[in-house]
Structure 1
Amino acid sequence: MSLYRNSAWFVKGVTEFTRNAFLSASKQFVEKDLEVSMAGRAFMITGANSGIGRATAMAIAKKGGTVHMVCRNKDKAEEARADIVKESGNKEIYVHILDLSETRKVWEFAEAFKRKYKSLNVLINNAGCIMSQREVNAEGLEKSFASNVLGIYILTKSLIPLMEKSPEPRVITVSSGGMLVQKLRTGNLQSERGHYDGTMVYAQNKRQQVVMTEQLAQGNTSIHFSVMHPGWVDTPAVANAMPDFHRSMKESLRTPDQGADTVVWLAVSEAAGTRPSGRFFQDRKMVSTHLPLAWTRSSPLEDQKFMSLLEDIAKTHQPH
């Protein structure tokens, strides 16, 4: 089954996820969708100092939006901020230092942010990591799960009350087409059993993001949720985590700006706001979250069980 799944995914990838596929899809884009001012609107972007996150921050800064860059590395973040301010002429760019894999610190950051700032229109969950081997954080949680799933869950849930007070709130999560080869698994969230394959753990985390988005959309109807696949993008993260893939596909990979296009469209366009909440997007279109005949669908019961487990783990690691 997984051989079929992986083969079907690769064929889909070559036809839909490459730079040429973006150029082809972009012929259908409506240019005026992005001809909007974001002055007076606040955006939080995690992983905003490189790759897709940085390209997104730059695009929104150029539209006049207030940008909160949430990054792990202070030097890289400040350098990226300086470039964004210089190129966009927008000084309303703020750096916040946070590692999403440090669960208690995510709680603390979100609470402090709510105390300091009066509004947040858009949250863009972009930061992510692929681990080459199983590692745990200071709280004993597997790092890939902590960064890609739990950290996003805590940050999003914590900021919902602030976002509900802001006009037209939206949450966008940058997932991956890799999730198409994975069915939601709730029995081994921290990869404690079996061989640790970092790429497959990442793909499972990305499937979990899709289910999380669907479930949060159902429970929070005043906020527009979406999750998306940026395509295969040439970023430092891809080069570091998947060197063989990066080498063999380098000429076909999208630029960070191309990868960020649908993120920006989901964040700022009126058109995106008219789409149903909780859906999965690729190149500005709603697409299926499953390959045909791939047996990756989970039941509503499994989805709810996953959300209950997330909530329990999050509460356990809440600062007292």
Structure 2
Amino acid sequence: MPLRTLANVLDSALDRTVVPGFSKIGYAVRRRLPTWPADPAPGSLAGRHVVVTGATSGLGTATARQLSALGAHVHLVVRNADKAADVARELPGPSTTWTCDLGDLDSVRACAAAMLADAPPLDAIVHNAGAMPAERTESPQGHELSMSIHVLGPVLLTDLLLPKLEGHEARVVLVTSGGMYAQALPVDDPDYTRGTYAPPTAYARSKRTQVELLDILTVRWARAGVAVYVMHPGWAATPGVTESLPTFDKVMGPVLRDADQGSDTTTWLVGAQPRPRGGGLWMDRRERPTAYFGRNAASSDERRRMWQWVADATGLTP
């Protein structure tokens, strides 16, 4: 078999076996294959403006640093401006900080209004803000907090900022999680009001929602010329994992990716030229299946119903 065909077979096998593929083993193997795409050119983001939410820790900080190293002016969208100042001092390039709580839709609207008034045209948004509350917590608008931070806030912020993205071949990246493979779209209970609340389940349900809304968001934001991606970082060692999943962190710690490895594909999606085809779930610079053997895949009707819920919750016209 040709070398590239063998590389694709090995890549797919790593995916199906989960632990090797999602860990640092998969990352190390894949980047040595002939199918690994080239890195963005040095300075490829010079003069570009990129928004990174959740930029004060973990994957968000690593993403901001990588994008800055490529020349981007990074806009840090954060809850804590003091923590953002610490991150900004370590960036090799310029940055601007915007205060926003992605879990509070009123805060999202206020941040969007400030950015529409004062920010320059934007070339990309990376939605990395995340949370896994230890118990069921509601946003100020009464929505389960994981769903609000991972779905409602990012969708609303991006939609409101479309005037800043339009005409720039802009890119939007939603950072998801491999946990979404284990959950179905919670179309009948998006706010997790039924059953016993489990933080990892709530987190994974919201991440499944990101993936299943991808096609709808791609069509919606295409009018502004925006390409949309969902990016799976693999299993990465971050403060959030250590705090929220201590057993997983202890057992899998030796093979977890570091933050830079987990953020690699996000940076590549933002910086690669030509712009990668939008509308897919990506990991290690390659588009991946959103479900295996059809397990937990949503129907078009379920996606439509979930989108209607999101539109109603955010006040957007579906």
TM-score by length of 2: 0.90
Distance 1:45 1:293 in 2: 32
Which residue is equivalent to 2:118? 116
Which residue is equivalent to 2:3? none
Runs ≥4 residues deviating over 4 A: none
The residue type paired with residue 121 of structure 1 is D
Distance 2:120 2:264 in 1: 28
Structure 1 residues 152-208: Cα deviation after superposition (integer angstroms, max 9, x where no partner): 11111111222014x221101100111111121211111111110110111010010
Which residue is equivalent to 2:311? 311
Distance 2:101 2:169 in 1: 28
Which residue is equivalent to 1:159? 161
Q: Is the 8 A contact 1:215 1:278 kept in 2?
A: no
Q: Is the 8 A contact 1:132 1:241 kept in 2?
A: yes
Which residue is equivalent to 1:4? none
Distance 1:214 1:224 in 2: 11
Q: Which moved more, 1:205-214 or 1:225-234?
A: 205-214
Structure 2 counterpart of 1:39, from 36, 40, 46: 46
1:260 matched to 2:267? The reply is no
Structure 1 residues 68-97: Cα deviation after superposition (integer angstroms, max 9, x where no partner): 01112222211111111xxx1x2x211112
Which residue is equivalent to 1:15? 20
Structure 1 residues 82-126: Cα deviation after superposition (integer angstroms, max 9, x where no partner): 111xxx1x2x21111211111111011112211112301100001
- Superposition deviation, residue 213 in structure 1: 2.2
1:54 matched to 2:55? The reply is no
The 3-state SS of whatever aligns with 1:31 is: coil
Q: Which moved more, 1:281-290 or 1:183-192?
A: 183-192
Q: Is the 8 A contact 2:237 2:258 kept in 1?
A: yes
Q: Is the 8 A contact 1:128 1:147 kept in 2?
A: yes
Identity within the alignment, %: 31
Q: Is the 8 A contact 1:233 1:255 kept in 2?
A: yes
Which residue is equivalent to 1:234? 237
Structure 1: where are the runs of 5+ without partners? 1-8
From the superposition, tell whether residues 274 and 236 of structure 1 become closer, same or farther in structure 2 (CA, over 3 Å). Answer: closer
TM-score by length of 1: 0.89
Q: Is the 8 A contact 2:37 2:285 kept in 1?
A: no
From the superposition, tell whether residues 134 and 32 of structure 1 become closer, same or farther in structure 2 (CA, over 3 Å). Answer: closer
Distance 1:121 1:98 in 2: 19
**Aligned-pair RMSD on alpha carbons?**
1.7
Q: Is the 8 A contact 2:15 2:21 kept in 1?
A: no
Q: Which has the higher contact order (CA 8 A, sep 6+)?
A: 1
Distance 1:26 1:305 in 2: 39
Distance 2:54 2:17 in 1: 27
Which residue is equivalent to 1:143? 145
The residue type paired with residue 108 of structure 1 is A
From the superposition, tell whether residues 72 and 250 of structure 1 become closer, same or farther in structure 2 (CA, over 3 Å). Answer: same
The residue type paired with residue 94 of structure 1 is T
1:127 matched to 2:149? The reply is no
Distance 1:274 1:22 in 2: 20
Q: Is the 8 A contact 1:41 1:65 kept in 2?
A: yes
From the superposition, tell whether residues 32 and 230 of structure 1 become closer, same or farther in structure 2 (CA, over 3 Å). Answer: closer
1:71 matched to 2:72? The reply is no
The residue type paired with residue 124 of structure 2 is V
1:245 matched to 2:252? The reply is no
